Amino acid sequence: MVVQEQLTKEYAQKLDQQNELKMYRDEFYIQPGVIYFDGNSLGLLSKRAESTLLQLVDSWKKYGIDGWTNGDHPWFYLSEKLGKGNAPLIGAEPEETIVTGSTTINLHQLVATFYKPEGKKTKILADELNFPTDIYALKSQLQLHGYAPEEHLVQVKSRDGNTLQEEDIIEAMTDDIALIVLPSVLYRSGQLLDMKRLTAEAHNRGILIGFDLCHSVGSIPHSLSDWDVDFAFWCTYKHLNGGPGSVGGLYVNKRHFGTCPGLAGWFSSKKDKQFDMEHTLKAAPDAGAYQMGTPHVLSLAPLLGSLDLFNEVGIEKIRKQSLQLTNYLMTLIDAELSEYEFIVANPREDAARGGHIYLEHKEAARICKALKENNVIPDFRTPNGIRLAPVALYNTFEEVWETVQILRKIMKEEQYKKFENKRDVVA
């Protein structure tokens, strides 16, 4: 039950005073007067990430080619070093993860490695709500094997257009499925799937399973190794604040070490053998085998600072604060916006929700434009979705309160009507 005190600015300010992570807000570059609620699309720049970027630029300036082996962060080992920094966030052993490639490149690598159609097991199981790049990649991998995607890509249907029923996913794990690729958190609705349960069900049926962690890494804790997940992949520019186009990451369960990379390159090599320049690959004995080309050093650099910050705070504390922020946002939406036809379309339960709130409204595109005019940065998703992500490390309860007041004013004054109800080129 909502009490009147919770609807006041003073209550939000009191919550901010009690926030044990409040000192970390000063670590980020926040524009004065702007409420940034789009950290689930692109996280803000931290001062630590800026510092390590400049350090790597300086190493190029200072060492030239010798930067590969000299300096505080030798480039030749940078992907492995960042993999170790990422391991606590995903619940992996250090050798099971590597920072390399991008979301789509890493998905192609992992499917090329682990999709082994044989006999009647020829199909890949996914879902109809996944981010398009994953589906494009899965279809192209099927085509490379000579299979028609319309027959061999099975996409679990949503009953409500926003969420998936795990029972439906499990029912679709039939004996013709060779591989499963699912999101950990659905990018629209923010639904968090039970990865432990789904992995166990897949393995009970002899099926390998992997997860796209783009909307969960840096926002929720994971225990990939304990859950026995086969593989995972993710981007680092959302909750991990690695910067636009920052290098992605992948995880391979150590049970699969020694499996030849489906897409090999010279950075797949054992480090001590790479410069032998032989034409027969001697693959790294760990997740490093699933690298391909030369790492993008300057796009890796901000992650040194960002992951340092995350591991200092701890993902459990980040998750706790994230849930408090999103719960408070939903409380205010229910109390203040009920007359304006907003639908909270994300799961309400903490255990079933990632780090953002998903509102549906028939005027969503123009409401997002009106929010931006009022210095609130949301995210629009076609056709009628508004994503709001109050981030644990740099957003406040007062910003949550102010955003709902601004939304109420936009609706009451019909400010949104001055805009077209369609997305811009980049939404």
* CB distance 196 to 166 below 8 Å: no
pLDDT in tens, 392-407: 999 999 999 999 999 9
Q: Above pLDDT 70, what percent of the chain?
A: 99
Quickly state the pLDDT bin for 141 (edges 50, 70, 90).
Answer: very high
Please tell me the predicted confidence (pLDDT) of residue 2. 73
Instruction: Return the H-helix or E-strand segment holding 53.
Output: helix 47-63
Same domain, 266 and 155: yes
How far is 109 from 95, CA to CA, in rounded Å? Answer: 17
Q: Is residue 15 part of a domain?
A: yes
Q: Which domain holds residue 194?
A: 50-313
Exposure of 244 in the CB half-sphere (CA atoms within 13 A): 0
Length of the chain: 427
Same domain, 368 and 264: no
Average pLDDT over residues 417-423: 87
Same domain, 108 and 247: yes
Q: Is residue 345 part of a domain?
A: yes
Which strand ranges, in their side-by-side order, compose the sheet holding 343-344?
Answer: 343-344, 357-360, 385-388, 379-381
Q: In 3D, which of 121, 113, 408, 387 has the Cα closest to residue 268?
A: 113
Same domain, 177 and 270: yes
Tokens of 241: 């604040």
Same domain, 277 and 321: no
> What phi and psi, each to the nearest 5 degrees, are found at residue 153?
-105, 115
Please tell me the predicted confidence (pLDDT) of residue 422. 82
pLDDT in tens, 161-210: 999 999 999 999 999 999 999 999 999 999 999 999 999 999 999 999 99
Q: Is residue 169 part of a domain?
A: yes
CATH number for the domain spanning 193: value is: 3.40.640.10
User: Which residue type, as a one-letter code, is found at position 71?
Assistant: G
Tell me, rounded to whole angstroms, the distance of Cα 24 from its chain centroid. 21
Q: Is 131 annotated as a binding residue?
A: yes
Same domain, 135 and 13: no
Q: Is 117 annotated as a binding residue?
A: no
Q: Is 133 annotated as a binding residue?
A: yes
Please tell me the predicted confidence (pLDDT) of residue 1. 62
* CB distance 224 to 376 below 8 Å: no
pLDDT, mean over the chain: 97
Q: 383 preceded by cis ω (within 30°)?
A: yes
Tokens of 288: 């490093």
* CB distance 69 to 76 below 8 Å: yes
Please tell me the predicted confidence (pLDDT) of residue 87. 98
* Pairing of the two strands 35-36 and 376-377: parallel
How far is 75 from 300, CA to CA, in rounded Å? Answer: 9
Q: Where are the beta strands (DSSP E) in 45-184?
A: 97-99, 123-127, 153-156, 177-183
How far is 40 from 129, CA to CA, in rounded Å? Answer: 17
Please tell me the predicted confidence (pLDDT) of residue 424. 80
Q: Is residue 39 part of a domain?
A: no
Count: domains in the chain: 2
Same domain, 332 and 290: no
Instruction: Return the H-helix or E-strand segment holding 265.
Output: none
Question: Furthest-apart CA pair in the chain: how many Å?
Answer: 72
Q: In 3D, which of 245, 246, 239, 219 has the Cα closest to residue 302?
A: 246
Which residues, listed in sequence order, are joined to residue 177 by a DSSP beta bridge?
Answer: 123
Q: In 3D, which of 311, 312, 318, 305 has the Cα closest to residue 243?
A: 305
Q: Is 259 annotated as a binding residue?
A: no
- Ranges of H-type helices in 296-396: 297-313, 315-336, 364-373
Same domain, 19 and 69: no
Same domain, 158 and 114: yes
Q: Is 382 annotated as a binding residue?
A: no
pLDDT in tens, 288-310: 999 999 999 999 999 999 999 99
Q: Is residue 366 part of a domain?
A: yes
Average pLDDT over residues 130-152: 98
Kindly list the distances between the CA atom of residue 281 and the CA atoms of 69, 98, 271, 273, 289, in Å, as whole numbers in the listed order.
22, 19, 11, 9, 10
Please tell me the predicted confidence (pLDDT) of residue 126. 98
Quickly state the pLDDT bin for 421 (edges 50, 70, 90).
Answer: confident
Q: Is 100 annotated as a binding residue?
A: no
Determine if residue 48 is left, alpha or beta; phi over 0 gives left, psi from -120 to 50 gives alpha, anything else beta: alpha
Residue 84 burial (CB count, 10 A): 17
pLDDT in tens, 336-348: 999 999 999 999 9
CATH number for the domain spanning 412: value is: 3.90.1150.10
Q: Is 356 annotated as a binding residue?
A: no
Q: In 3D, which of 230, 199, 243 has the Cα closest to residue 28?
A: 243
Exposure of 394 in the CB half-sphere (CA atoms within 13 A): 24
pLDDT in tens, 72-126: 999 999 999 999 999 999 999 999 999 999 999 999 999 999 999 999 999 999 9
Please tell me the predicted confidence (pLDDT) of residue 161. 96
Tokens of 151: 């027959």
Q: Is residue 219 part of a domain?
A: yes
Q: Is residue 158 part of a domain?
A: yes
Q: Is residue 17 part of a domain?
A: yes
Same domain, 67 and 195: yes
Average pLDDT over residues 404-413: 98
